[in-house]
Every structure is written in C-alpha cells, then in structure tokens.
Structure 1
C-alpha cells in the first residue's frame, strides 16, 4: 500500500518536535513537504527532519498535487482560514486544536466538508491513546459502578508576553490551549454532552488572556469539574469517580512517546484502597492519530473526531467564556 503524502503548514514547534516525527513513524503516511513564510526556515526544517520538499509559502504547498493531506499547526486564529484554503485545494486536513475560535466557523467547515467529501478532523491526539480507550471501556463495562463525577487539573507556567499562547488576538489563553482537553475527555468518558456550565476565569492584566480558570459542567448522568492555568506549577491529572470505584489517569494529556503509561483502578475505601495498575506499552499518541486519520481518508473506518464533535466541544468552550463573564450558570446551546 502506498503511503499517504502529508504536507505541513508552518514550522510550529509542536509539529517539529512531536507530530512530524510521529507521522514519520506511521505505517501508512509520510511527511512529503513542509512550508514556512521563510525559505530558509522551511529548508532548515526539511533538512533536519529529512522531508523531501520545502516551500517558502503556504499556498505553494497547497498547490502541490503530490500533497494529499495537510497538517495545520498554525496559530489558533489562522486555523480556519488555512483549513478552508487547504480544502479548496482538494486536501484533507488534520488541524490542531482549537479548530476554530467561533462556532459559526466550524459550521462553515462542515458545509464545505459536505460539499467536497474531504476528511477534516480536530487534532485531539488523546482520543487515540490506549489509556483513554481503556478508561472509557472500563466505565462502560461498569468496573467503577455508575459514572457520577470527573475531576481534572492541567497547568504549566508561561508568562512570556511574546509567546503565541499569551497573545489574545491569536487565540491565546488557558481555555483554548489546555482547558479544551478536560472538556473533550469528560465528554468522551460520559459519552454525552454537558447541559450547562459555570466558571471562574482570571485574566492576565498585561496580556488579557485567561491565565487561571475553574470550571464545572453538569452532564445528564453526573458532573465534571477542572481547573487549568498557564501560570502555575506544571501538573496534570484526571480522576473518574463511580458509585463503586475510581479510575485515575496519571498522565492524561502529554502522554510520553518513549515511556509506558498507566491508569489506576481503585475499588477500596479511603483508608485501604486496593489499586489495580493497568499498564500500557510505549506508544506515540500522535502516530496513532495520524494512522487513524489516513484510515479514515481511505474509507477503512469512521472519523474518530469528526467536525460534529469539534462543534459540540466548541459549544462547551463558548459557554465557559460566557459563564466567566456573567458569573452565572450558562446553558450549552
């Protein structure tokens, strides 16, 4: 089977250090071309990662008929614009999260996808990792009784005003960058959508981006809550509580590609917890994501994170921002 040829828009750090090496390890894809607004930057990245073709403009890459699919890790505010341009050029698109910053933009992408028949997906790599698939299976099989509550935390420290994550106009801030992860994983585990949310958002006085947030989500079957911050000590953890047990995902989001991961299944009481460690072999969630995306393009499976899922996740994120301003519970419309 011929490997699908990927083209990459920009030399963003996440692409160079995580996603592109992962695609290069995949069984059904190859990184064929990379583009930057600088010819030297594109050439250097191509040389460093042994990518055959480099371009000094994004449009040149889109015009290359050899490129079949695009990986789009551009700054958040450019995701929709260049995803649309890639689709108009006949390319499938795997776009970094958040796919868009406005609900109506995802509706535009859905409309264009339906017209073109192209595969477009938001790059939530966590949805492909065996630890999350196992956690979901364990909940569905009743291993913790009835699922009632999920709690999470995700933080890192970055107060550089010039960093793209701290530029409001570029879609910076904690909710867009990392808060979206406990939202999507809570939805994934509950397998239903939140009804309403409440939130407290603290904004950096210099950058205007949200730097610390606490969120509550009411689901039909229970509740989920999380805190996230771009200016706290780095940490991440997700806990899933049922009526008869608890699951704890040790490294829920930045699962390492070179180390084994594990989740804890506990059915004991507070003082005498009886843990069962569920270990997972070393794997790269970005490789699994890329391989799944190619199988979807080739009609071998359904899209694991379709645009409809991106739309539902965006509805929650919009409600979080709205609740942060109103100080009230806001419906997820």
Structure 2
C-alpha cells in the first residue's frame, strides 16, 4: 500500500537581517547560505577571522542593522560567542553541538530567556518532511511501541588534515555527528535515558575519531549508534517497533530534496510505503527559527531537547573513557 504525506515548504516568513560569525565555514557556504536565500533572509555581514584575530566577529555583533546571528564556529567557541551575541541583543542560531557541556548549554539558554531572545541549536533533521512524518507515526502509536533504533554516520576524513574536529576545538566524532544518530530516538522517547554505554577509538590527542554506543531510553526502548571519521561513507537509520519495522532508505540526514519514502513492514508481512515530500531541511530549519524569533512558534528542537542532548552526549563521552 502507498500513501502520500504532503507539506508546505513555502517561505511565508519575515525577512530577518543576519550576521554570520564564520562566513568562510563549509557548512555556511554549502548549506546555510542557500537556505537563507530560499527563505528570503538577508545576510548583511558574513564575518571571517582576520588572521588569528576574532575582532571581525565583534564588529558584526556591534552592527545596528542585524536582527539575528548564525554561528558555525569551531565547537569550543560556541558558548562564548552565543553569550556575546545575546549581549548584543541578537537572536542566535548556533551550529550543533550548541556547547560542549550541559552546564554551558543551560547557561546560554538562561541568558537568552533573561534577554527575551531566541536561541536555537541548528539541528536540521526534525524539520524535514520525512523526519516529521516518522516522528508523528511514533508519537501516534501507529507503529506500536518503539523498541530499538539504530543510526550510523561515517566518512573517511584525512587524519592529517589539521581539521578542528580532530582536536580540542571540535572534540571528536560524538560531538560532531552523534546528534544525527542519537537525537531522533531521543525525540521519540521524550525522556532522560536510564543508562548509556560507549567505546571509542581515539587519536594521539585523546579525541575520539570513532565511537559506538547504546542508550537505554527506558520503557523497553533502546538505540544504538556508530559514528566515525575513519570509515567508509554511511548515513543510515532504522527503527523497530512492536507492530512494524521502519526502513529509512538512503541517507537519513539531512533528508532528500525530492520525494522519498518510509518503508513500513507490518507483523502480517504486509509492506506499506509512505511517500513524503522532499525539502531543504536547512531552509525549513531557518523558516522555523524565524517563526520562533517573531513569536509565531515554539522551536521544534528547543531548550529541553538541547539540554537533554547535552546530558546524553556527556554521559556517552564519559562512558567511552575506559
């Protein structure tokens, strides 16, 4: 059986004026810059460091013609520049991980709330139509009770490249791409984990270049993950529920631009193919951020989710140190 789930991707949003702290970053140039254009946003300053000086970032925050800031800086700089952007009176969309600790994550949200500003972690997956469909199927119990999920994200990085993700600035594979393999199941569980376990391969700097692990979400639901900078390309996700097994064909994140499907295999061995609209998950994330900044919607992935994820990542990081 086949049925179609449709959604509206129209850019019916206000146009904010943006500064980017880290205008030369790959994620901005590849993904967010086109997303801003698609959603009718105006980037007035895409600041890059001047040698070792970060003064261009401060100059961007001082501009009076900036409403919101996007931060794709190396992970260790996130907390500092979120605070500085909030101090300047700007809404903030910051790349994942929002910070590198639960304490810092709570602190930046406290700051945003006290300033009356919106802060959101730039996690695009839950904004894609296929992801939204999957989350709704789980929440509606149309698949029965979730029992087991798996997520995998890997690619072969040049270990001698000097990439910031291979040292303290990025803090490794868990903090970089763990969100894509852990947060979908966290959003399905909607509760703190009962237990976590992990093991890692680390480089000479003590940074994990690969990690595998397991999260017990309680209630008979668990998930496993594998992330790596040192393995062939893979982005894959699947889910086992009491009444169905769900396959997510192709790369599960960020989500296909064109129509895609969820393959649902029922207990009676019938197969249902749920066709889902495609979309630019980054653009849809920007759209939702603008709605939040203008007071029209609460974030899909907000404070509660970011703080819970920070605690899960900290627990897994600690568990992997044997």
Q: Is the TM value for this pair above 0.5?
A: yes
Q: Could you tell me how far apart the structure 1 residues matched to 2:223 and 2:68 are? A: 35
User: CA shift at 1:255, angstroms?
Assistant: 2.3
Q: Could you tell me how far apart the structure 2 residues matched to 1:61 and 1:261 are? A: 40
Aligned to 2:21: 9
Q: Is the contact made by 1:97 and 1:122 (CA closer than 8 Å) also made in structure 2?
A: yes
User: CA shift at 1:23, angstroms?
Assistant: 1.2
Q: Could you tell me how far apart the structure 2 residues matched to 1:163 and 1:280 are? A: 39
- Which of residues 44, 61, 65 is equivalent to 1:32? 44
Q: Is the contact made by 1:202 and 1:211 (CA closer than 8 Å) also made in structure 2?
A: yes
Q: Is the contact made by 2:211 and 2:227 (CA closer than 8 Å) also made in structure 1?
A: yes
Q: Could you tell me how far apart the structure 2 residues matched to 1:56 and 1:101 are? A: 23
Matched, 1:219 2:217: yes
Give the 3-state SS of the residue equivalent to 2:321 in structure 1.
Answer: helix
User: 1:244-259, aligned counterparts within 5 Å?
Assistant: 244-250=243-249, 251-257=251-257, 259=258
- From the superposition, tell whether residues 203 and 31 of structure 1 become closer, same or farther in structure 2 (CA, over 3 Å): same
158-167 vs 239-248, greater mean Cα deviation: 158-167
Where structure 1 has 5 or more consecutive residues not aligned to the other structure, the ranges are 40-54, 327-333
Q: Is the contact made by 2:133 and 2:276 (CA closer than 8 Å) also made in structure 1?
A: no
User: CA shift at 1:287, angstroms?
Assistant: 0.5
User: CA shift at 1:310, angstroms?
Assistant: 1.2
Partner deviation per Cα, 1:110-159 (whole Å, 9 max, x = no partner): 22112101100111110111111101111122222221111121111103
Q: Is the contact made by 2:260 and 2:277 (CA closer than 8 Å) also made in structure 1?
A: yes
TM-score for both structures, normalised by structure 1: 0.86
Q: Could you tell me how far apart the structure 2 residues matched to 1:144 and 1:115 are? A: 41
Aligned to 2:308: 312
Aligned to 2:33: 20
Q: Could you tell me how far apart the structure 1 residues matched to 2:142 and 2:299 are? A: 27
Aligned to 1:266: 265
Q: Is the contact made by 1:164 and 1:170 (CA closer than 8 Å) also made in structure 2?
A: no
Aligned to 2:175: 176
Q: Could you tell me how far apart the structure 2 residues matched to 1:268 and 1:114 are? A: 47
Aligned to 1:150: 149
CA RMSD of aligned residues (A): 1.9
Matched, 1:230 2:229: yes
Which consecutive segments of 4 or more residues in structure 1 shift more than 3 A? none
Q: Is the contact made by 2:128 and 2:254 (CA closer than 8 Å) also made in structure 1?
A: no
Give the 3-state SS of the residue equivalent to 1:99 in structure 2.
Answer: coil
Matched, 1:302 2:290: no
Aligned to 1:291: 287
Q: Is the contact made by 2:124 and 2:254 (CA closer than 8 Å) also made in structure 1?
A: no
User: CA shift at 1:268, angstroms?
Assistant: 5.0
192-201 vs 247-256, greater mean Cα deviation: 247-256
- From the superposition, tell whether residues 165 and 56 of structure 1 become closer, same or farther in structure 2 (CA, over 3 Å): closer
User: CA shift at 1:276, angstroms?
Assistant: 2.2
Where structure 2 has 5 or more consecutive residues not aligned to the other structure, the ranges are 1-12
Give the 3-state SS of the residue equivalent to 1:291 in structure 2.
Answer: helix
User: CA shift at 1:218, angstroms?
Assistant: 0.7
User: CA shift at 1:238, angstroms?
Assistant: 1.1
Q: Is the contact made by 1:160 and 1:166 (CA closer than 8 Å) also made in structure 2?
A: no
Aligned to 1:209: 207
Higher relative CO (CA 8 A, sep ≥ 6), structure 1 or 2? 2
User: CA shift at 1:15, angstroms?
Assistant: 0.2
- From the superposition, tell whether residues 189 and 165 of structure 1 become closer, same or farther in structure 2 (CA, over 3 Å): farther
- Which of residues 272, 278, 281 is equivalent to 2:277? 281
- From the superposition, tell whether residues 38 and 256 of structure 1 become closer, same or farther in structure 2 (CA, over 3 Å): farther
Q: Could you tell me how far apart the structure 1 residues matched to 2:14 and 2:309 are? A: 34
TM-score for both structures, normalised by structure 2: 0.89
